[in-house]
Structure formats: C-alpha cells, structure tokens
Chains A and B, each alone.
Chain A
Amino acid sequence: MGYKLLAKQEIGKLYEKLAKQYEVYAPIKKGIEVNWSKIEDLGDILFDFKNSSLSPKGLFFPQTEVMFEFKNDPKAEEGYILKEVPPLPKTRVLLNIRPCDAKAFSILDKVFMRDEDSLDVYWKDKRDKTVLIGLACNNPCNTCFCTEVNSSPFGEDGLDVLMVDLGDKLILKGITDRGNSLIEDFEEAESSVASKIDDLKKSAESKIKTKLSMGNILSREMLEVYEHSYWDRLHESCINCGACTFYCPTCHCFDIQDETKGEYGRRVRNWDTCMSWLFTHHASGHNPRGTKKHRVRQRFMHKFKYMPFKLDGDIGCVGCGRCIQVCPVNIDVRDVVNNMNK
C-alpha cells in the first residue's frame, strides 16, 4: 500500500477515528517534561518534541503490576485460591511513539514471548491490544544514537503506522495490516513523497554524530568481555541508583512480592534494577553480583553481549539516550560501549 496524506490541522480526523475504537495515548508536555498520557484533548497532541522523558514501557510493563489476588485465609472456602486479574478492558493506540521505543518493544517481545510455553500473559495482553503509530524523528537529540544500534530515526520495527512530519502535513505509511486498515480512508499521497521521505531520513541519520564500535564485543568470547579491565574503573562513580534502568525502554527485570493486608492478598511485580544490591541476592545470603563492579558490568554486559547472544543478534539498547540524560553521575553508555570494545 502507498503513502497517505494528512494535513496537520486535520489531525482531529485521525484522532476521532482512533478514539472511536481505542483509548488514545500520546506524549504531552508538562513544563520541561514530556510524558505519556491518555489524550482527552486534541490540542494536547504534540509534534514538536524530541522524545518522552520516561519511555512508554510502563504502558506495557507497569512499574507495579498485580499478577493475581487471593483471599488470605486458608480456612475460608475461597482461601488461597488465586484470582486472575482482569485483562486490559479496551484496546489502545499509542500515537507519536518514536521508532526507538517501538523497536524496544519488539525486542522485549523476544524476552516476554519467547515461546508458547513461557508466554508472559501480562505483557502479551497489552501488546496484542495496542496499536503503535510512530512519528519519525526529523531532528534527533545530541544523545540519540539509534543508527549505531541497528535502527534509524525513521525505523519501522514494531510499528503499525509510521508518520513523517513534513511541517504542515503528515505522511502516513502503513506497515502492518492493522495499521493499513486504520489509515485506508485517508487521501492517497503522490508517489513522489517516497523520495522526500528518503531525503528526510538521510538528513536525520546524518545528524547523529555518535559512532559506536561493537565488533570486538560481539566477536570476543563472553568471558573475555566479562573480564575486561575497563570494569575496574567504570563502576567507581556509579551510585547504583535505578535511574538508568527505570528510564530505559529495554530494561525489563522485575521483582515479585506477595503482599497481604488482613484477608486480602495479592502478588505484585515491580520493576527491579540490576544496580540494586538486592538484585539476584540469594536467600542463603550469597550474592552473585555482590559488588558495585558486578552490578554495573551486568547492565552493560546484558545489553551488549548477553542479549545479542541470546536474541539472535538483537542488541538490548535502542539508542534513545535516556540513560545519558538522567544518570546523576554522567555514566554515558556511548563511552561505555566504545571502551568495552577496546
């Protein structure tokens, strides 16, 4: 299918169409922050933004998520019988998601839905019920480096529709059947837009100045990278907070807790972070990642060595640059990768 055209002024047409079937979420501005939020007012939809502060990962993998509930009373008839939590009540669309974030979720699909026997039902439910309409980046940030991790500011991985901002117009490109059916009523764009999009794509890609080298990381033996002398220095300044992992669209570790209050009981999962000393701390007291060095190394080894090894070459980083923006001590993943590669 070809390209569709939509005047920006008429974004309402798209919104109305979406709002009939879906709950619409989009990044909106609040002060200097851009946050994902349910759209109630058409005027809140933004085109002039870099990326959302926090990634939209919480919409698929909430920071705190109830897995099931139970009556905390073994003697009661219903006691200790697990009650499923209801699935997502309504289908949703994420409008103006950036290509890096959409790609992150297709990488996470390989983690949460690797095979039929170990489906993460919570993730799957939300993924199945969410359409992603992306907005290509004409002007990536200084900290963006998607091109260095197998993506592009115009990347299509994981998207149903990709929109390209031409100033007063949007070009809509259907990518999946689901996406195509959403935009089929819109005006057909002239075929010449393809080359225009291509120019914009090249221009956006050329704005990314970061160069990452990963050849050695990928080709060297696992243990060789693990024992790189660089780790002895990198961890020194890290304060082992969770900012980098919580902001990262591809970090996906969680910690499970059972909670009871009187007769009510539930199991919840919460975002975890490999930076915490509690992460993988064993009940025996043994901690396989007992020092700061172990923990910092885990984050980068996981993304740039273990994940590509396990996930058919997919890197566990999409180059969104959020961790660079939020790290209180300025640990910069771009420097880390280039040093790991030395």
Chain B
Amino acid sequence: MLEGYTKEIREAAKRLIRDKKVDCVIGYSKGSIPLVDAPYFAYTEEECENLVWSGFCTKNLAKYLIKRLGKNALVAQGCVSRSIVGLINENQVKRENVYILGIWSPGMVDRRKVLERVGGKEIIDVKEDEEKLVVIGDGWEEEIKRKEVLRQNCYTCASRNAVLFDEFIGEKKESKGGGDIDNVAAPWEKLSIDERWEKFRETFKECIRCYACRNVCPLCYCAECFVDESRPQWCGKTQDEADVYTFHILRAFHCAGRCVDCGACESACPMGIKMRVLTSKLEKDIRNMYGYEPGMELGAIPPLSVYRPDDPENFITP
C-alpha cells in the first residue's frame, strides 16, 4: 500500500460521499492475499476507509462503469482514464455520470514475476514504496526494485498520469513508462509465417478458456460475445486448438484501435498467458497507419469505426 495516496483517496472519497456528489466510489481495497488488491465499492464514509492505492491495482476499473446506474466516482490511473475516455467515445458511459479521481501510477507489479523472482516460494506479506517492494515469506525476506517486476505494459506506458479527471489525487509525476512501445510491440513481426504460427500455438496452448481476459477488459462489453453465440456458432466450445485460437484471434481483432494497453487481461489470466502479443501488434498498426492512440482525447473517432476515402489500404491482400 502506498500510504500518501491511500490517505488522499480516502479523504476525497469521503468528501464526495458526504457531499452527495456521487453514490459510490469505486477503487481498490487491500486484498486478502499478498500482491493482489481487490476492486472495491464504497458507499459510505466508513467504507471509504477501506480504499487503498498500491502497486497491485492491476484491474481496469473502467469495466465497472459499463451499464452501471447512478453517479460513480472512480479511481483512475493513466490507462484506466484512457479506457473511460474510450467508453465515453463509444457511448457506453456518460461523462456526467462519472467523477474521475485521477491518479498517477507507480507502475503496477506483475505478481508472476515476483513469484518467479523468489523461486515460487510462498509469500506471506509484502511492503512497498514507490521504488521498491519488500517481499516477506516464512523466515525470509527479499527486497526487489519495483522496476524489475513491473508488468510488461507498464514499461511502455504512454501516460501514467490520468488523462481525464475531475480531481487529481497527489501530484502529477513522470508520465511515460520509459520504454519505446514500437520496439517491443508485435515481437513476432519479423518471424516467418511458420515460426509465427509456432509461437502463436506455444503462447496460447495452455489457455483454459476461463475468459478472465475478456471479462476484465473494458472493451469487451458486447451484449453477446461471439464465443457465446450459438446461432450461428462462430466458435466451438471445446479445448481443441481451433476453438481456443479462434477465440484469441477474433477477440484481439475486436479490440483493434481501442486497446489502451492497460494489461488487465494479462494480469487476470490464471495461466500466465501473454495475450498482449496480439493486441500490441494491432495497436502498432493503428498508430502507424492512422496516427491514432485510443483513449487520449474525448470526442476522437476510433479509426476502425468510420470509413474515409484516404484510409490506408496497403495491408489488404489483393
């Protein structure tokens, strides 16, 4: 838990509830196990005391705004605020129904990386500040620099500060993750088709189709997801390769030009599957071909939702 931010979130949340500015403040509470914090809905001043800010806020809370009634405040770091912008632009959320408590993200921690670092040993507790974590086990502790165990998407973050907010918690700080997204996005681009296929199979073969990646993603709000449809049935329900891969390829395409690289999908996956390998390629293409970055600007039109006569066509196979 990052104490300074936590305190400020609680103060702001209590004020919003007290002044009846919002019905609910959506943020995080301390998780019941180390390295995982829990999305939390605070309706009373007392409940606001449970809110926290930490390096383990790895979900994308914007998801909870979809179809939600009433007026809600939401704690949003850069990527989450970008998702809110996206949802407003796609008419899923009304600007006036959300009060954004913008915040800076220290870069969120990849739980699996920490577990790998300590050799899979059981972690009992963790302490953190902006620079480092102290991971505590039974009879041992280890200090780890935060920047060594960040989620991949946080290294190349385009904006750690919220891009849209009604109020900012704490100070704005260095906003860039530092890494060059175009260098790491689409790691398979240079591979031959056969190698790419191999990598693809290798990456997704352990998927158990729990759909945590889909369900946690703020882009996945279709009334009926194509994998759930039965008339017609686009995608089989089994663990056969074709069914699993169809799900991943199609889902990625549905996110094209909309994915803000929040990393919630990878953080949610119980099997540690790195599905951003697909979305990062699509987003790279969107940046390069359309000069567009999703979620940066209210009112921007997602390039794939419109047709323009001068749209690039060179990727279409003749």
A residues with CB within 8 A of B = 29, 31-33, 50, 54, 63-64, 141-143, 233, 236-237, 239-243, 246-247, 255, 257, 259, 268, 270, 273, 276-278, 324-326, 328-332, 334-335
Contacts and interface: CB of A to CB of B under 8 A. Distances in A.
Given A328-B268, A329-B59, A330-B36, 7 more contacts: A31-B116, A32-B112, A64-B238, A236-B39, A242-B209, A268-B237, A328-B212
Interface in B3-36: 31-33, 36
B279 interface: no
A257 B39 contact: no
12 contacts: A32-B115, A32-B120, A64-B239, A142-B33, A237-B41, A241-B214, A257-B238, A324-B32, A325-B33, A328-B212, A328-B268, A329-B38
Given A50-B122, A141-B122, A270-B237, A239 B270 contact: no
Contacts of A240: 215
B93 to A, nearest CB: 17
Nearest to B29: A330
Contacts of A143: 33
Interface in B200-227: 208-212, 214-216
Contact of B270 (A259, A268, A326): A326
A155 B64 CA distance: 42
Given A246-B208, A324-B33, A330-B31, A63 B215 contact: no
B63 interface: yes
B270 A334 contact: no
Contact of B239 (A33, A63, A239, A276): A63
Contacts of B208: 54, 63, 242, 246
Contact of B38 (A242, A326, A330): A330
Interface residues of B, number: 37
Interface of B: 31-33, 36-41, 59, 63-64, 112, 115-116, 119-120, 122, 124, 208-212, 214-216, 228, 236-240, 267-268, 270, 272
Contacts of B120: 29, 31-32
Given A237-B40, A330-B32, A243 B210 contact: yes
B123 to A, nearest CB: 9
B216 to A, nearest CB: 5
A72 to B, nearest CB: 15
B63 A239 contact: yes
B13 to A, nearest CB: 16
A270 B238 contact: yes
A326 to B, nearest CB: 4
A236 B41 contact: yes
B228 to A, nearest CB: 6
Contacts of A31: 116, 120
Contacts of A334: 32
A127 B210 CA distance: 26
B208 to A, nearest CB: 5
Contacts of B236: 257, 259
Given A31-B116, A259-B236, A277-B228, A246 B41 contact: no
B243 to A, nearest CB: 9
A68 to B, nearest CB: 15
Nearest to A332: B32
A241 B228 contact: no
A221 to B, nearest CB: 29
Nearest to A335: B32
A332 B40 CA distance: 13
